[in-house]
Structure 1
Amino acid sequence: MASRIGELVFGCREPEVLARFWCEVLDFVVLGRESDGSVEIGARDGFGGSQPTIFFSIRDEPEPGKSRLHLDLNATDRDQDAELERLLAIGARFADIGQTGEESWHVLTDPEGNEFCLLKARINPVGAG
């Protein structure tokens, strides 16, 4: 037997803002909202389906220190440059973590400053052969 990632959890100040951003980035939908303002998003087949869900847990202040977790994204239906333009248009920002400029990926942040990378290689969308 093995374990499987069911959900990724982000502590954040504005769960609705991040949910909207990441739904747009990943073509996810809102799966649920908690009474405290937390929001869960995921693929249309829901929790336990084809992909882990992302749970935005409301926090007044981010936890101290830098998160050691970040997401690596691959475009599915366009090249890296076109996907980069799309991500920047919906609120992503460039992050400087000491890159040389020779990397094949881009380091970005979401609207609350969580880092993620856009990789060069394209991959098939979930469910595609």
Structure 2
Amino acid sequence: MTLRWYTLVIDCHDVRKQAAWWAEAIGWKTIIESDEECVNIPGWVEPDTVKDIPWDRIGPGMVFVKVPEGKTVKNRLHLDFAPHTSQDRDAEIARLESLGARRADVGQPEDTSWTVLTDPEGNEFCVLSSREY
């Protein structure tokens, strides 16, 4: 028996705003939405599609839960995203910045092959160099 990575939970103040931001940023959709919790899943996922996929092959969703405290230190975990080699990495970073992402310095060297950004509530994530797979 193995466990399936079911969701990534993100603590935030404005769950609706965060869920909408991430849905736009990575092309997912919000399927559950309240003032206390929102759930995002990949944009291609539909009930008819998922029923034919083995349980352990379905990727995780993102859950946004409301918390009273703010973010105070660098995340211990973060998400890495990579554009395909057919995509313009710099244009993708510019698109994320136009949505409200900000560049962040978390101590990375200047000559890295990735860019550290933060979402609107300050959670770090990286855009890596373009990848074929």
TM-score normalised to structure 2 length: 0.81
The answer on whether the counterparts of 2:11 and 2:66 sit within 8 Å (CA) in structure 1 is yes
The residue aligned with 1:121 is 130
Secondary structure in 2 matching 1:72: strand
Superposed displacement of residue 59, structure 1: 0.6
Code of the aligned partner of 1:42:
I
Distance 1:3 1:14 in 2: 30
The answer on whether the counterparts of 1:71 and 1:117 sit within 8 Å (CA) in structure 2 is yes
Coordinate RMSD, CA, aligned: 2.2
Distance 2:121 2:132 in 1: 27
The residue aligned with 1:37 is 36
1:100 to 1:64, Cα distance in 2 relative to 1, 3 A: closer
Code of the aligned partner of 1:89:
S
Q: Is 2:59 aligned against 1:51? A: yes
The answer on whether the counterparts of 2:80 and 2:128 sit within 8 Å (CA) in structure 1 is yes
Superposed displacement of residue 123, structure 1: 4.8
What are structure 1's unaligned runs of at least 5 residues?
125-129
Match of 2:91 among 63, 82, 85: 82
1:108 to 1:64, Cα distance in 2 relative to 1, 3 A: closer
1:98 to 1:67, Cα distance in 2 relative to 1, 3 A: closer
Distance 2:9 2:68 in 1: 15
Distance 2:83 2:96 in 1: 11
The residue aligned with 1:94 is 103
What are structure 2's unaligned runs of at least 5 residues?
none
Higher-Rg structure is 2
Q: Is 2:24 aligned against 1:24? A: yes
Q: Greater share of helix residues, 1 or 2?
A: 2
Give a deviation string over 1:88-118, Cα, whole Å, max 9, x none. 1111000011222100000000000000000
Secondary structure in 1 matching 2:77: coil
Code of the aligned partner of 1:40:
V
